[in-house]
Amino acid sequence: MRFALRFTRSGPGLIGAVILALLALAALAAPLLFPGDPLKIAGPALTAPFTDPAFPFGTDRLGRDVLAGVFHGARASLAVGLAAAFAALAIGLVVGTLAGFAGGFIDEALMRVADAFQIVPGFLLALAFVSTLGASMPTVILAIALSAWAEPARLARAEVLSIRERDYVAAARIIGMHPLEIAFREILPNALPPVLAFAAITVAGAILTEAALSFLGLGDPNVVTWGAMIAEGRNVLRAAPFLSIIPGLALVSAVLGVYLVSEGVSDALRPREGRAA
């Protein structure tokens, strides 16, 4: 309750929450407002925005409804961002908890694996993964998760190292709890806050990575995405710049919303500073 009250007092957090709520509403309403395949030809090609009431955002060079694409693209971008971030955080938490609690050879081995993933830029790793296994939504989610799990793992490990010697952990050992039960039941919940604070960066990065992969033609060809719409618009950028600008603004709004919400969460979690007399 206190966290919610502090969050509502954060201007950036509220603005970000409103942006994400609108995008989530658009994603949920897409099948109702625009039923059927958003990739189908709906009208004349290259209709300019706000010139035809049937197509408020116009149509692309094949005659597909841009507004329908933006709404359905919100479903893909948010789904990929949240799913990839969840998978990356889950992998990172498990690896970081095991490394920090076990120590020794296990810690060294797991951290060297994390180093190997961090040496390669995340986007290049995702690019190589999708290029090898083929473009599909599950593959894109897995590729982004594998490129983003190392940093949450290091954060979780650092927290576990500071927690594992505390009194309640020693008490759990004395009463005979299994080491894995101690690690994941007693230590992990207390190591979550800094990792969850990092989640917003992971979600924003996942949305941008998915858009970049789709822009390069490595997204799922059967799913409308903002990156693919931007790539489609670049072919007629001079004649119809709105085809890239509109989905680009939607993409910027999603990332900005995630960033502002993370600012609000940080403000809510930050201890209140004493007021000046």
SS (H, E, C) 52-65: CCCCCCCECCCCCE
Residue 44, in any domain of the structure: no
Query: What range defines the domain where residue 111 resides?
Result: 68-260
- How far is the C-alpha of 56 from the C-alpha of 79, rounded, in Å? 25
Residue 26, in any domain of the structure: no
CATH number of the structural domain spanning residue 169: 1.10.3720.10
Long-range own/partner contacts, residues 162-168 (CB < 8 A, 24 or more apart): 163/187, 163/190, 163/191, 164/100, 164/101
Residue 112, in any domain of the structure: yes
Q: Give residue 170's pLDDT.
A: 84
Q: Give residue 3's pLDDT.
A: 62
Q: Give residue 153's pLDDT.
A: 92
Residue identified by tokens 């209140």 is 272
Other beta carbons within 10 angstroms of residue 56's beta carbon come to 12
The total domain count for the chain is 1
Crossing angle of the two packed helices 66-102 and 11-33, in degrees rounded to 10: 120
Residue 45, in any domain of the structure: no
- How far is the C-alpha of 73 from the C-alpha of 158, rounded, in Å? 37
Other beta carbons within 10 angstroms of residue 51's beta carbon come to 9
Residue identified by tokens 């390669």 is 120
Produce one character per residue of 15-45: b if its CB has 16 or more CB atoms within 10 Å, e if not. bbbebbeebeebbeebeeebeeebbeebeee
Kindly tell me the burial class for residue 4, based on how many C-beta atoms sit within 10 Å of its own C-beta (0-12, 13-18, 19 or more): exposed
Tell me the Cα Rg of the chain.
22
Residuewise pLDDT in 10s, the chain (277 residues) = 666 677 677 788 889 889 999 999 999 999 999 998 888 998 899 999 999 999 999 999 889 999 999 999 998 888 888 899 899 999 999 999 999 988 889 999 999 999 988 888 888 888 888 888 887 888 889 989 988 899 999 999 998 888 888 888 888 888 888 888 888 888 888 888 778 777 888 888 889 998 999 998 888 888 899 999 999 898 888 889 999 999 999 999 999 998 888 888 777 766 544 333 3
Listed residue (122, 253, 269, 101) closest to 198, CA to CA:
269
Listed residue (121, 77, 131, 91) closest to 257, CA to CA:
77
- What type of residue is 99? A
